[in-house]
Amino acid sequence: LESQREKIDINLDFDKNVYRYYSINKHERQALLEEGYEILRYRLMSSIGFEKYIVKPRFNESVIHFFTIYDIQTFLKSREIKTMVFMTKKPDLVFYVNGKSYAIEVETGTVLKRSKRQVLEKCKVMKRDYNFGFIVVPSRRMVRKYRKIVPVVDMRYLKNKLEKILKKNEY
């Protein structure tokens, strides 16, 4: 008897950095993991509960840092706000509403552990080059550490903050 082989169909775009875990089959998930993608359980700003994702961050970012920026950018794009993402000394994400510039820096805690001065420098750049700027932390445990030195928003409250900015400016 010939054993029947399961036909494996992998239809992926490896240039795409984010996949919803359950939107692809197990063979596609395995192929992504072999290509350096990682599994992340995350609660989007626009959702109620946690969901699993398969994510491949840019070369110099952690998975949570990359995905937090992705989440903010997706939220703003859904409201037709143009965003710019940077990987340099500029803030992680910049957007404009009614001629005002807003800068967001995502901090997961590793930079603060290494160099408080570097965090202060990033904030100085935000104040100098943009109308408004703040740091977003994905974990509420880090709020207290950052709040001592810079304006900070806990990820849980970021959606409300962004909606207030958009409503106030009536884009």
CA distance 50 to 135: 23
27 shares a domain with 85? no
CATH code of residue 157: 3.40.91.50
Can you read off the two tokens belonging to residue 72?
A: 């903010």
Instruction: Give me the number of domains the chain comprises.
Output: 2
7 shares a domain with 49? yes
- Average pLDDT (81-98) is 91
pLDDT higher at 171 or 74: 74
Which helix (H) or strand (E) segment is 30 a member of? helix 26-34
- Average pLDDT (129-158) is 89
DSSP string, 77-144: HHTT--EEE-SSSS-SEEEEETTEEEEEEE--SHHHHH-HHHHHHHHHHHHHHSSEEEEEESSGGGHH
The helix/strand count (H/E) of the chain reads as 6, 8
Decide if pLDDT at 10 tops 50.
yes
156 shares a domain with 72? yes
Q: Which residues pair with 83 in a beta bridge?
A: 95
Decide if pLDDT at 8 tops 80.
no
79 shares a domain with 135? yes
Give the least confident one: 54-58, 146-150, 154-158: 146-150
Can you read off the two tokens belonging to residue 148?
A: 């001592």
37 shares a domain with 23? yes
Give the domain extent around 50: 1-56
What whole-number percentage of the chain has pLDDT above 90?
A: 61
67 shares a domain with 51? no
pLDDT band with cut points at 50, 70 and 90 for residue 169: low
- Average pLDDT (150-158) is 90
134 shares a domain with 89? yes
Using CA atoms, how far residue 18 sits from 37, 52, 68, 93, 149, in Å, is 9, 11, 12, 18, 33
